[in-house]
Structure 1
Amino acid sequence: MPSQGTIGDRVRGLRLNRRMSQAQLAGPDLSDSYVSLIESGKRTPTPVVARLLAERLGCTTEFLLHGIEPRQRIDTELGLRHAELELQHGDAALAAERFTEIVKAADEENAMLTAHARFGRARALEAQGRLGQAVEAFERLRREASAHPERLADLPLAVALSRCYQHAGDRLRARDLAAHALRQAERLEITQGEIAIDLAAAIVEAREEMESGSAELAYVRRVLDVNGVPDVVDRSAEIDALWQASVSAAAGDDSALAVRLADDAITAGRSARLALQLARVAVHWARLAGTPVAEAERLVEAAAKAFATAPGTGRERSEALIAHARVRLRAGDLARAGELATAALEAAPDASRTTPAEARLVLATVALDLGGDAMGHLATARDLLQSLSGPMFGSDRQAARCWRELGDLYGRAGGRAQQTAAYRKALEAAGVRSALAGLPVNAAVSG
C-alpha cells in the first residue's frame, strides 16, 4: 500500500525508524536545518537531494518522492489499464469497481494516478446510465482540474459533462459546456483524436436543425471533413487475446510485460472506437434539418456500414437505417425509404427503444404519400411507444418526438381522437405535462 503523508512525513518517519538525528541524515553534504525544512514541508528536495536522502534512509527515491515503490506503482498502472479495458470491452459495472479500488488504495502523494482512476470511474458510471452520479463525479473532477491543472485537463471533462447533461435532458447546460470546450479546442486547433470527435458528437447531438453561421456546427463539419467515417475493422479477438495475455503475465509476476500487453490491447481497440463515434456524429448530422440530401446520404451510408461491421452495434445500425430512410423521404424516393425502414425493423434488436416505432412511422408516411392506408402502421407505432415504460438512457426527448410525429400522421390520416391522444403523450414524454396543464393540447404542442 502507498505511504500516507507528505515527503517530509516520510523523511521524518524513516529517520526516526532508523534512530538517526537530523544532523546524521544531513551528513557532510547538507545542513541539519535544511533537513528540518524538508520534514516540516517548507522545502521540497531536488531530485539529487532526494536520491541522497533515499540512500541514507535505505529506501528508493520513488518511495521517498511519491510514497510508492516502483513495483507498487507499476501494479497501479496495470490496474488502471485493466479497468480501462473492462470499460471499453467488458462490464462497465466491474470497471467502476476496479477504478474505485485504485482510488481507495492511492493517496495525495499519488494524486495523478488517483485523478485518472476517478475519471475512469465517472466514465464507467456514465456508461451504466447512472447519470446523476456521473455528473457529480465529473463536476468534482472539474473543480480539481481548476485547482490542479497538472493533474487533470479541463477539456475532456467539459466534453464528458456536456454529454451527460444532454442525455439527462438539460440541453442548455450541455450547450454551454460544449461551447466552453469548443473555445479550448479551437485555440489548440484540435480536429482529430478522441477529444475532438467526442466534442463533435456532443455538439451535434443537441441540435435539431442547421444554424446559419453556427461556430459549433462549423466545427462539427471540420471534424467530419478531416476524419470522414472510416471503415471499422473488428479486432475484438485480438483485443481479447492481448487482454488475457496481460492477465496471465500479471499472475506470473511479470508486471512490466503485463502493462505492455494491456497497452497493446487498448491501442488495438482505439481505431474502431473512434470510427464508431464518427459514425454517430455522421448519423446526427444527417438528421439535421437543412443538411443537403447528397451529403446526408453519403454520411449515413458510411455510418450504417460501420455499424454493420462492428460487433454489438445492432441498435445503432437500425438507427442509421432509419436516418437513411428519412433522407430518402426528403428526396422523394418513397420505395427506397420503405425498404430501409423495413430493414431497420428486421435489424432492430431492442424493442425497449424507439427505433421499431420510428420504422413504423416512416412506413406510415410512405403509405400516406402513396395515398394508401397507414392506420395499421400507426396503431403498431402507438403500441410500441406505449410499451416504453420508465426513463430510458437519453431517449425521453426522442420518445416525445415520436409521439408528436405520430400525432401529425394521425392528423393526416383523419384520426382526430388518436391525434389528440398522441400529442398528450408527447407532452408527457417531454416532461411538461404539469407545466402545461389546462392549455389546449394543439396550442401547447405548436407553441
Structure 2
Amino acid sequence: MPSQGTIGDRVRGLRLNRRMSQAQLAGPDLSDSYVSLIESGKRTPTPVVARLLAERLGCTTEFLLHGIEPRQRIDTELGLRHAELELQHGDPAVAADRYTEIVKVADEENAMLTAQARFGRARALEAQGRLGQAVEAFERLRREAAAHPERLADLPITIALSRCYHRAGDRLRARDLASKALEQAERMSIEQGEIATDLALALVEAHSDRTGDSAELAFVKRVLDVAGLGEIMDRSGEVRALWRASATAAAGEDSALAVRLADDAIDAGRDQRIALQAARAAMRWARLDWAPVDEAERFSSAAERVFASAHREHERGEALIVLARVMLRAAQPERAETLTGEALGLLGGGTAAAEAHLVRATLAVARQASPADHLNAARIVLDGAGHQAYGTDRTVARCWRELGDLYGQVGDRSQQTAAYRKALEAAGVRSMMAGLPVDATIAR
C-alpha cells in the first residue's frame, strides 16, 4: 500500500492500484474535478470527504490523512515517548539513536511526528555536548518552523539555539535569540512552566551583563518568583518504574497502555525538571555582581536546597560556591570558608572545585595569610579541566583570569602572566598570542 508523499499522492496511488478512474472514485457524491484537485494538492479533503474516499479506496481515514495506519502511528508515538524518557532520565546517546530511527521510519509519512523526532534528536546532540551538530539541526528546524508552524513550535527551538550558541561562545547570537524568544513569550504571557524556565535560564546567561532594570532580567525575576524554588520530591524511582511498565506493555503488544504509562512517567518527572531549571537560573542570577546581597543569598540558598532534594551533588556544590561568593560580598568570611569546605566535599574536581579553591585563596589574602596552597590547587585543577566544544570554555577562562588576579595581588608576576595567557587560550585566543606578553588590563 503506497504511503509516501501528500494526501493527494496517496489518493492517486490507491486509485490507480485499484484501477479506478477519477469519476469512479468521485461517485455520485463528488465531482471528478474535485478529486483531481485533491490529487494535485490544490484541495485538502474535509474529514467527511476523507472518510468517504477512504471507504471507496479500501483504507483507513488515518492512513489517507497521515500516511500511516493507526497501529503504526501509536507505535511511533510510543517511540517518541521512550526516546524522551531516555533523554531526560537515561543516556542522551541512546536517545539520539532512537530519535534517528523514528525519523527513518516516519519520514514523509507524517510530517509532524518526523519534526518532533528531529527536534528530540537535536536536543540529544546538545545534551551530549555535540554543539556543532546540534546548532545545525536546530537552525534547520527553525527554518522549517517558520515555513510550517503547524508542524513545529518556533519558541522552544529558538531557546535551544540560544543555549547552544552561548555554550559555544557566541554570546551576541545567543543574546539576540534569547531576546527574540522573550518577545514571543511575552506576547503569549508565558511566565511559568518548562518553556518559561528554559527561557529564564537562557536569558540570565545571555544577558548577565545587563542591569536588573532590563526587560530580559525582569522576566527572569518574574519566572523565579512564580517558581517559588522550594524543595522538591525526587520521583526518579517512580519515573523508572513507570518507564519499565511501559516497556513491558509494549513488549506484550498493548501499545495504548504503553503510551499511557510512558506519558505518566514523563509527567512524573516534569515538576523536578522545572524546579531544576529554575534553580539553575537562580544560581546564575546570584552570580551577578550587581545583584543585591540579600537577593543573591536568597536565590543561591534556594538553588542549593533544590539540588540537595534532587540529589544533584555536583550542582549543589556549585550552588554552595556561589553562596560562598555572596558571603564574601556580605563580609562573612567564616561562613564563606565553611561553605567552600562543604562544596569541596561534594565535588570530585573540575572548574567548580577550582572556584572553591579560588574563594579560599581570596579569604587567605584578605587575612594576610599565604594563599599558595589554594592557588596551586586551583591551578592544578584548571590544568586538567581541558576545553569544551569548539576549544573554548568561558567558565575555565573566567577561573584562569581570577587566578591571575590573585597571583598579581601576592606579587607573583610570572604566574600571573601564565594564568592570563591560559585565560585567553580557554576563551579561544591562541596563535596570535604566542610569545607575546599579556597585559593584565587586556586579560581582564
Give the TM-score category using the shorter length.
over 0.9
Count of matched residue pairs: 444
Give 1:341's aligned residue.
Answer: 340
Give 1:144's aligned residue.
Answer: 144
Report the more deviating stretch, 429-438 or 60-69.
Answer: 429-438
Give 1:97's aligned residue.
Answer: 97
Q: Contact 1:2–1:105 (CA<8 Å) still a contact in 2?
A: no
Write out per-residue CA displacement over residues 305-355 of structure 1, whole angstroms, 9 at most, x where no aligned residue: 1111214x2221111011011001111111110111111111003x2x201
CA positional deviation for 1:8: 2.1
In structure 2, C-alpha distance between the alignment counterparts of 1:8 and 1:33, rounded to whole Å:
13
TM score, norm. by length of structure 2: 0.96
Identical-pair percentage: 72
Q: Contact 1:239–1:265 (CA<8 Å) still a contact in 2?
A: yes
The residue type paired with residue 249 of structure 1 is A
In structure 1, C-alpha distance between the alignment counterparts of 2:374 and 2:391, rounded to whole Å:
25
In structure 2, C-alpha distance between the alignment counterparts of 1:270 and 1:394, rounded to whole Å:
33
Give 2:211's aligned residue.
Answer: 211
TM score, norm. by length of structure 1: 0.95
Q: Contact 2:8–2:39 (CA<8 Å) still a contact in 1?
A: yes
The residue type paired with residue 51 of structure 1 is R
Aligned 1:354-393 pairs, distance under 5 A: 354-391=351-388
Give the 3-state SS of the residue equivalent to 2:388 in structure 1.
Answer: coil
The residue type paired with residue 387 of structure 1 is G
Distance verdict in 2 for CA 1:446–1:133, change over 3 Å? closer
Distance verdict in 2 for CA 1:446–1:153, change over 3 Å? same
In structure 2, C-alpha distance between the alignment counterparts of 1:30 and 1:133, rounded to whole Å:
49
Where structure 1 has 5 or more consecutive residues not aligned to the other structure, the ranges are none
Write out per-residue CA displacement over residues 344-383 of structure 1, whole angstroms, 9 at most, x where no aligned residue: 111003x2x2011111111111111112111111111111
CA positional deviation for 1:21: 2.7
Give 1:321's aligned residue.
Answer: 320
CA positional deviation for 1:438: 7.0
Give the 3-state SS of the residue equivalent to 1:4 in structure 2.
Answer: coil
Give 2:183's aligned residue.
Answer: 183
In structure 2, C-alpha distance between the alignment counterparts of 1:395 and 1:185, rounded to whole Å:
31
C-alpha root-mean-square deviation of aligned residues, in Å? 1.8
Q: For 1:411, which of 386, 392, 408 is the aligned residue? A: 408
In structure 2, C-alpha distance between the alignment counterparts of 1:38 and 1:359, rounded to whole Å:
67
The residue type paired with residue 279 of structure 2 is A
2:396 maps to 1:399: yes
Report the more deviating stretch, 86-95 or 9-18.
Answer: 9-18
Give 1:12's aligned residue.
Answer: 12
In structure 2, C-alpha distance between the alignment counterparts of 1:110 and 1:209, rounded to whole Å:
44
Q: Contact 2:424–2:443 (CA<8 Å) still a contact in 1?
A: no
In structure 2, C-alpha distance between the alignment counterparts of 1:440 and 1:190, rounded to whole Å:
50
Where structure 2 has 5 or more consecutive residues not aligned to the other structure, the ranges are none
In structure 2, C-alpha distance between the alignment counterparts of 1:102 and 1:52, rounded to whole Å:
30
Distance verdict in 2 for CA 1:433–1:6, change over 3 Å? closer
CA positional deviation for 1:421: 1.6
2:257 maps to 1:257: yes
Q: Contact 2:168–2:389 (CA<8 Å) still a contact in 1?
A: no
Write out per-residue CA displacement over residues 207-244 of structure 1, whole angstroms, 9 at most, x where no aligned residue: 44452531111111111112121322111111011001
CA positional deviation for 1:393: 9.2
Q: Contact 1:399–1:429 (CA<8 Å) still a contact in 2?
A: yes
CA positional deviation for 1:446: 5.1
In structure 2, C-alpha distance between the alignment counterparts of 1:98 and 1:195, rounded to whole Å:
24
Q: Contact 1:167–1:394 (CA<8 Å) still a contact in 2?
A: no
Distance verdict in 2 for CA 1:394–1:259, change over 3 Å? farther
Give 2:266's aligned residue.
Answer: 266
Write out per-residue CA displacement over residues 98-130 of structure 1, whole angstroms, 9 at most, x where no aligned residue: 111111111334111111111000000000000
The residue type paired with residue 276 of structure 1 is L
Give 2:240's aligned residue.
Answer: 240
Give the 3-state SS of the residue equivalent to 1:406 in structure 2.
Answer: helix
The residue type paired with residue 19 of structure 2 is R
2:54 maps to 1:57: no
Write out per-residue CA displacement over residues 385-408 of structure 1, whole angstroms, 9 at most, x where no aligned residue: 112224369971111111111111
